[in-house]
Amino acid sequence: MRKAQQTDMGKIRVGILFGGKSAEHEVSLQSARNVYDAIDRSRYEPVLIGIDKTGRWFLNDASRFLLNPEDPKRISLKPGGEPVTLVPRSGGALSGLGVFREAGHVDVIFPILHGPFGEDGTVQGLLKLADIPFVGSSVLGSAVGMDKDVMKRLLRDSGIPIGKFLVFRSHEAAPSFGEVKKILGMPIFIKPANMGSSVGISKVHNEDEFYRAVAEAFQYDAKIILEEFIEGRELECAVLGNEAPAASVPGEIISSHEFYSYDAKYLDKNGAALVIPANLDEMTKKKVRELAIKTFQVLDCRGLSRVDFFLRNGEAGASAGPGRSVEGRIIVNEINTMPGFTRISMYPKLWEASGVGYTELISRLIDLALEEFEREKRLKTSYEKF
């Protein structure tokens, strides 16, 4: 395992990277606050690195890095802090901008960034160039996990069950409502292809809603995805590990909104009920966990992910029942390679129900990041003839 640089206290310095140039900026702030409060201070020294909405990086003081931290509608990154950057081959040395002086170092980065410019492989590429371990998937896993179009095609070609979908790009002719309805039926979901936290998503029932939803989704991405509506239950399963990942107990989301929207997730305290573990028969639980791990591996993920499912309604209702097959009824919706990480988010709550507490989960993820870094270090980077 990587021998991390030690502080005078013998602790590993963990850079908590949060915020970001994304519509999911505020979600990241909430996750970072919770991780900072819960990280094991006997092993780690947290270093707060906030990214504002223009993409600038700042070292933040723990006592003042957030404004309105208790209000998810008004939470924001407090202005100020020392501008910093990472440079290639720095090994975790933080450089102050302007005079380009050293501004301390970190041994490993926990990039609690959601959405574009953070969860899509961009920051992961920078961290690899800087030669520093980081929590979560690398460039490829992050990129394909973020792009719902590429993700679904890879899952489909690997034999993993997914729902019907169509993809359109902003430079193409506008999709025809009649043709879409013929292929996908109604209602449907329209989403930006590269976004999370239900940002820019609409559930469409008719032609008027269709064109408004297309315009809304194109505000967040140049590529949008249209998905069939699947009548059934919404399940989620958390995955943890590198080469030999483990899956948590499945959980269920029961939304009080028409679907599990951004407001239902983060703004409305009564927006959804999380049922953990989900009330499922053993055969269904086993299949969900197997598919979660297979999805994680097919998409080349590392560290952590949350896999979201639909359990399609069947003749016997939502539960398969004794002796009834669940084949064809469990549908993978998508993967989230850096899921929400507040104490009340689904990913940590699923692991809590599986016997791994929040603080221990953070420690395991840091250990996995160091383990993956050491594995990659053993690979040759030059060709030698023998």
pLDDT tens-place string over residues 279-313: 999 999 999 999 999 999 999 999 999 999 999 98
Phi and psi angles of residue 185, each rounded to the nearest 5 degrees, phi first: 75, -170
Q: Residue 214's domain is classified under what CATH number?
A: 3.30.1490.20
Question: Stretch 368-372: mean pLDDT, rounded?
Answer: 97
Residues 215 and 305 in one domain: no
Average pLDDT over residues 346-351: 97
Residue 327 pLDDT = 65
Q: Quote the radius of gyration of the chain (alpha carbons, Å).
A: 21
* Residue 355 belongs to some domain of the structure: no
Is 156 in the same domain as 185? no
> What is the reported pLDDT for 259?
52
- 122 and 266 together in one domain: no
Residue 102 pLDDT grade (very low, low, confident, very high; cuts 50, 70, 90): low
Average pLDDT over residues 77-81: 83
Amino acid at residue number 248 = S
Q: State the residue range of the domain holding 300.
A: 145-160+231-337
* Backbone φ, ψ for residue 167 (5° rounding): -130, 140
Kindly state whether residues 235 and 210 are assigned to the same domain.
no
Which tokens is 385 given? Answer: 């003839």
Same domain, 52 and 188: no
Q: Is residue 66 part of a domain?
A: yes
| Residue 5 pLDDT level (bands cut at 50, 70, 90) | very low
Amino acid, single-letter form, for residue 95: S
β-pair partners for 52: none
Number of domains present in the structure of the chain = 3
| pLDDT at residue 258, rounded to an integer | 61
26 Cβ partners below 8 Å, 6+ apart? 72, 75, 76, 266
Same domain, 287 and 191: no
CA distance 86 to 97: 10
- CB of 24 within 8 A of CB of 114? yes
85 and 153: one domain? no
pLDDT tens digits for 253-288?
A: 997 656 544 454 444 456 678 999 999 999 999 999
Q: What confidence score (pLDDT) does residue 321 get? A: 44
Determine, yes or no, domain membership for 7.
no
Q: Which is it for strands 12-19 and 44-51: parallel, antiparallel or unpaired?
A: parallel
- Please give the pLDDT value at position 301: 98
Q: Any idea what the CATH number is for the domain that residue 239 is in?
A: 3.30.470.20
CA–CA distance, 64 with 60 (Å, rounded to integer): 7
On whether the CB atoms of residues 124 and 130 are closer than 8 A, the answer is no
Asked if 103 and 245 sit in the same domain, the reply is no
**pLDDT given for residue 164 in this prediction:** 96
Residue 181 carries which DSSP code?
A: H
Same domain for 333 and 237: yes
pTM listed for this prediction: 0.88
Average pLDDT over residues 39-63: 92
Q: With cut-offs at 50, 70 and 90, classify the pLDDT of residue 88.
A: confident
